[in-house]
Amino acid sequence: QLARYCCADLAIDTFPCTSNTVARDALWMGCPLATLAGDTFASRIATSLVANVGLAELSAASPSQYEELLIDLARDSAHRDALRDKLQHLSETPRLFDAPRFVRNLERAYAQMVANAAAGGTPKGFDLR
């Protein structure tokens, strides 16, 4: 299954429920993934993944922008090759696939949420980078 990504020029994500495992597989195998960000958790998973590998440009904000992104990528083989080259370095610095780092950040998130709630705060977003 994973070897097929080496033959693909581009992975095109689904909407409104974006991919998770498939997106991770494509990115790990060096295949660029274009996605459309929505307003729900299920429609933002792939956007988070491409952002975490430094390719936020592959996430469109609207259906028309997604269509334009896909057409541009289909026509520009040099850009696709550059994206693939960028993804080849994932195995050297696998930020997205670093489970110990993920767990540390998740535990920090839990601690911040508990501290915020204990202080009487309302739920809020935060960045753990």
Confidence of residue 105 (pLDDT cuts 50, 70, 90): confident
Average pLDDT over every residue of 101-109: 87
pLDDT for 72: 97
Residue 44 backbone class (left: φ over 0; alpha: ψ -120 to 50; beta: rest): alpha
pLDDT for 126: 72
Confidence of residue 92 (pLDDT cuts 50, 70, 90): low
Greatest distance between any 2 Cα atoms in the chain: 53
How far lies 20's CA from each of 29, 53, 118, in Å? 14, 14, 33
Taking the C-alpha atoms of 19, 24, 27 and 31 in order, what is their torsion angle to the nearest 10 degrees? Answer: -50
Task: Write out pLDDT tens, residues 110-123.
Answer: 999 999 999 999 98
Helices (H), the chain: 21-28, 45-52, 63-75, 77-88, 99-118
In this predicted model, which residue has the larger pLDDT, 40 or 91?
A: 40
Q: Which two tokens mark 119?
A: 């202080």
Instruction: Specify the 3-state DSSP secondary structure of 22.
Output: helix
Task: Write out pLDDT tens, residues 25-79.
Answer: 999 888 999 999 999 988 899 999 999 888 999 999 999 999 999 999 999 999 9
pLDDT for 75: 97
